[in-house]
Amino acid sequence: MKKLKVSTKISISFLLILLVVAVMFYFLLPNLLNYPPNTINTNFDKEVSKLYYIYQYLIAIFGIAILAVIFFKISLRKVDKWLSNKNSEDINEIRKICFKYPSKLFLIIEVFPVIIVLLTLVCTGSHPVILLFKIGILVFSFATLVSSMFLIISKNIFYPILKETSFYAKNRKIKNNSSLQIALIFQIFPSIIVTVLMIALIGYSRLINEKGELLNIYYMAELDTLEINNEDSLLEQITNQIGDKLLAKKDYIFIETPTGEIITTGELKPSDFFIKYMHELSPQANNRVYEAYTIDEQGVIKTINYNNQEYIVGIHYEVVASSLLVYFMLATFGLLLFNLVILCYIVKHMNNILTKLTEEMNNILEDPDNIDTKLLPLTSNDIIGQLVQAFNEIQEMTKRNIEQIHNNQEILMERERLASLGQLIGGIAHNLRSPIMSIAGATEGLEELIKEYDESIDDPLVNSHDHHEIATEMQNWIPKIRTYTEYMSDIITTVKGQAVALTNEQDVIFTVSELVKRVNILMKHELKNSYINLNVQMKIDENSTLVGDVNNLVQVVDNMISNSIQAYNGARGKNIELEINRIEQNVIITIRDFAGGLPKEVQEKLFKEMVTTKGKNGTGLGLYMSYSNIKAHFGGDITYKTEEGKGTEFNIILPIKQ
């Protein structure tokens, strides 16, 4: 079964949440805003608002849904495309989108629905500004609730992608990381906003509802006490009897004449909504009338017979002043601000501790060999305190482990030195055997000639010519002995230098020719025993000089030649190439074999840790130490090329020091 695209998952999740919240909000909205009775989904509603409430609601919901899905599809097309081909070059960009998208989505879902709903209501032209403000607050509250839920869901959707790409990202270290403080506030504060605003609106709704009931009863009672005669002006009679009993400055008395004219005691007049409701719905509401789709302003009416004609007499009153709503909202936002400050303080405290932990861990990563056991203070007994305590214990344990690793490395390196020394001694024994035996043979020959010369001294048959012949034969042995002793001296000098290199370091000037000579002397025995040929190709002047620890360099080259010999696994008659070249300001020493190449698991760890292809017979220190030596003593580098089934080439790059 084909997996769903990320944009599809996001869209389905959003639509499901929107559906649940929309159904709940559909029934809550009229109750929270105290819509007047019989004004929802009736002919009255359609005539006043152009559309039924349900149609307005559906337009807003479908508008939000359609635009949201379009936005998801467009903004996530790169992620969808990556999931289909999984191009490694786009991983960093995909991870960036997955990291930032939930937070961006949070802000969009908070603001976007409010705009859609308000535009829908404004287009109907039937909602006063105060009502639009209250609806905007309510929609914002529910949108915040939805965005909070969706923040968690979207992170869960992106989690598998982030998990899959985390091991293949080109740069795994997080840069410009988002603030944990902001992230926690984003996830916690919305629930506080929703709670406070809902409590405030519910409280406000109940308050004005109860106050409206009391005012309705009060003013209806006043209308019931009216005594009207046909001689005086109707408006004057009503004003004289109850005018001084009006409770607010904005309250006023109005009369509708049989001709439909509205007469009031002040400058204010009832709205068209009020008059329409008065004619069509007030009988069903016990002669109670509403100014708009809100109960902030209401009225009570009574039909009076005056001069044999029916007049509608009423009192228009303000249930709650608009300033009260402003004070109410200011108090609410003040409470939210107070909660935000407290939340910021708590989150900042947590953020500081976690930041300190992160800094200490980064210090360990930057300098793993130098761990400062400065412990973090334990200031709480909660989960943060446990985290600090665990970090302190891990830091102490890590220091002990690193010290143990250093000790183990020193032991391994010492063993490697001893192994190298043993290999040198074996080479000495074999290389010195031939010249010693030759010198021994020369000594026996000289011994024979000396004895012969001694016996011929008193022999009268031996003349001066014979003496000169014996002397000449003796003289012929001298160059041979001198050659053997010089060869032995070279071996001893080279071996002595390598033995000293195991413990000492010394930078000297040496020639390329001297380097090759030492390598040949030390590797002659191992190459001969393995029946491997070392082909030296000098593509550089033999008298070119290098500066550094020649003994260490010889050891590195020998180690690589030895590795190439062992790579042949006992096969005879094979070749190893030792090529020395100059490229720009670098001398390149290349050791090349044709033994089959390095396995991938070895390639991944080469030069980074001690790794060997020799199983129990190897420590992995050879190449590791070689790389370290070239870096430390020459400021150079070692690179390699390998192809399984063909062979391996190591390049020692040595900068030429002027």
215 close to 319: Cβ distance less than 8 angstroms:
yes
pLDDT digits (tens, 9 = 90+) for 37-81: 888 888 888 888 888 888 888 988 998 899 989 999 998 888 888
DSSP line for 240-298: HHHGGG--STT-EEEEE-TT--EEESSS----HHHHHHHHHTGGGGTTEEEEESEEEEE
| pLDDT higher than threshold 50 for residue 614 | no
Confidence of residue 544 (pLDDT cuts 50, 70, 90): confident
The CA-atom distances, in angstroms, between 184 and each of 140, 190, 228, 348, 380 are: 20, 10, 68, 10, 19
The pLDDT value given to residue 292? 87
Confidence of residue 275 (pLDDT cuts 50, 70, 90): very high
Backbone angles phi, psi at 150, to 5 degrees: -70, -30
Confidence of residue 612 (pLDDT cuts 50, 70, 90): very low
The pLDDT value given to residue 616? 38
Give, as one character, the DSSP assignment of residue 2. P
Angstrom distance (rounded) from CA 311 to CA 305 = 6
Q: Pick the more confident residue, 102 or 470.
A: 102
Confidence of residue 593 (pLDDT cuts 50, 70, 90): very high
Give the highest mean pLDDT range of 353-362, 532-541, 609-618. Answer: 532-541
Confidence of residue 617 (pLDDT cuts 50, 70, 90): very low
Over residues 479-507, the mean pLDDT reads 63
Angstrom distance (rounded) from CA 62 to CA 563 = 72
Q: Pick the more confident residue, 86 or 569.
A: 569
| pLDDT higher than threshold 80 for residue 537 | yes
Q: Pick the more confident residue, 384 or 209.
A: 209
Q: Pick the more confident residue, 461 or 262.
A: 262
Q: Please tell me the least confidently modeled range out of 11-25, 164-178, 259-273, 373-387.
A: 164-178
> Hey, what are 259's tokens?
């001709």
Over residues 360-371, the mean pLDDT reads 64
The pLDDT value given to residue 133? 80
Q: Which residues contact 64 (CB under 8 A, 6 or more apart)?
A: 18, 112, 113, 116
Angstrom distance (rounded) from CA 285 to CA 205 = 19
pLDDT digits (tens, 9 = 90+) for 574-588: 999 999 999 888 899
pLDDT digits (tens, 9 = 90+) for 158-168: 888 888 877 66
Stated pTM of the model? 0.54
Over residues 494-503, the mean pLDDT reads 53
The pLDDT value given to residue 143? 83
Q: How far is CA 519 from the centre of its chain?
A: 50
How many CA atoms, within 13 angstroms, populate the side-chain half-sphere of residue 138? Answer: 25
| pLDDT higher than threshold 90 for residue 429 | no
| pLDDT higher than threshold 80 for residue 391 | no
Confidence of residue 280 (pLDDT cuts 50, 70, 90): very high
DSSP line for 128-171: -HHHHHHHHHHHHHHHHHHHHHHHHHHHHHHHHHHHHHTTT-S-
| pLDDT higher than threshold 80 for residue 130 | no
pLDDT digits (tens, 9 = 90+) for 93-128: 888 888 888 878 877 887 888 888 888 888 876 677
Closest CA to 31 of 195, 191, 206: 206
pLDDT digits (tens, 9 = 90+) for 284-303: 989 999 988 888 889 999 99
Give, as one character, the DSSP assignment of residue 50. S
Q: Pick the more confident residue, 313 or 86.
A: 313
| pLDDT higher than threshold 50 for residue 212 | yes
Residue with tokens 């009672």: 221
The pLDDT value given to residue 621? 46
The pLDDT value given to residue 644? 81
Angstrom distance (rounded) from CA 611 to CA 4 = 43
**Average pLDDT for the chain:** 79
Vertex 423, ends 418 and 424: CA angle to 5°?
Answer: 95
| pLDDT higher than threshold 70 for residue 497 | no
The pLDDT value given to residue 620? 40
The pLDDT value given to residue 66? 93
The pLDDT value given to residue 580? 92
Percentage of the chain modeled with pLDDT above 70: 78
The arrangement of strands across the sheet holding 637-643 comes to 533-539, 575-583, 586-593, 647-655, 637-643
pLDDT digits (tens, 9 = 90+) for 255-267: 999 998 999 988 8
Over residues 199-217, the mean pLDDT reads 84
Angstrom distance (rounded) from CA 164 to CA 86 = 10
Give the highest mean pLDDT range of 275-279, 341-345, 393-397, 635-639. Answer: 275-279
Over residues 553-568, the mean pLDDT reads 86
Give the highest mean pLDDT range of 88-97, 256-265, 621-630. Answer: 256-265
